[in-house]
Structure formats: C-alpha cells, structure tokens
Amino acid sequence: MEKLTVFVYRDSLRDCTGNGVSSRHNTMTLFMYCKKEEALKHCEEKGIDVDSCLYLNMRQLWGEDHVFAEPLTKPCNKVGPMFGGNFVYTSDSRLYKFGGTYHLPIPVHDRFETQEEYDAMSV
C-alpha cells in the first residue's frame, strides 16, 4: 500500500460535487496499490480522518483503462460515486507508476445523489 499527498483542483465559481469530499479539502491523501478495506483499516489504526482520503481506482470503459479517485466511504442510501468536476494532482513520481502521465490530473468521483435526484437529472 502506498499513499501520497495530492492537491485538489476545483472550479472557483461553483461546486458541482454536491458537497463531495474534494469540495471540503485543499490537500488530500491518496491511497493506491491496495484494497479499499486496507486503506480504511490503516486510517483507523493511525487516526487519519477518512473524509480527507481518496482511493485510486481503475476500470475499463469502452475498451480503455480509466483512472479516477473516489472517497473511502459512501453515504448511505445514495448512488455514486460520480464525477463532480474536481481533479487531484501531484508531482510525486510514484503516481506515474500507476499508468503513465496521460492519466493526470486524476478526476475525483465524489458526487453522490439520492436515486430520485439521479433520476431527475438523467434525461
């Protein structure tokens, strides 16, 4: 498990995350090369606030790898995570091992909605 400090890039005019974790912090801890449960356990053991932490995730979309960061915890009765418009970045070279510089900055998927909000916005 590796972790590093990342800086949040956001739109200065408005928040589109719905009060996501990246709207509340300027710097965050990004966990990578581990399972989410391992990162949560590490935070609990070290007394780290999970609200200021993200987990680096990758998934296949349309035959391509897509990297994104998401919060360690999910609010109850919400759908998501979804992209809320914010990104994280670091100059720490350990991040490049994950897949190359073309993945930077990393989108943060920290927007959660109720099913009703999601349905209303999905036209």
Could you tell me the pLDDT band of residue 102, with boundaries at 50, 70 and 90? Answer: low
Could you tell me the pLDDT band of residue 10, with boundaries at 50, 70 and 90? Answer: very high
CA 80 from chain centre, in angstroms, equals 11
* Range(s) of the domain holding residue 38: 2-121
User: Among positive and negative, which fits the CA dihedral 20, 23, 28, 31?
Assistant: positive
Q: What is the pLDDT of residues 42-94, one digit of tens each?
A: 999 999 999 999 999 888 888 887 889 999 999 889 998 999 999 999 888 77
pTM of the model: 0.87
* Structural domains counted in the chain: 1
Buried b vs exposed e over 34-52: b needs ≥16 C-beta within 10 Å? Answer: beeeebbebbeeeebebeb
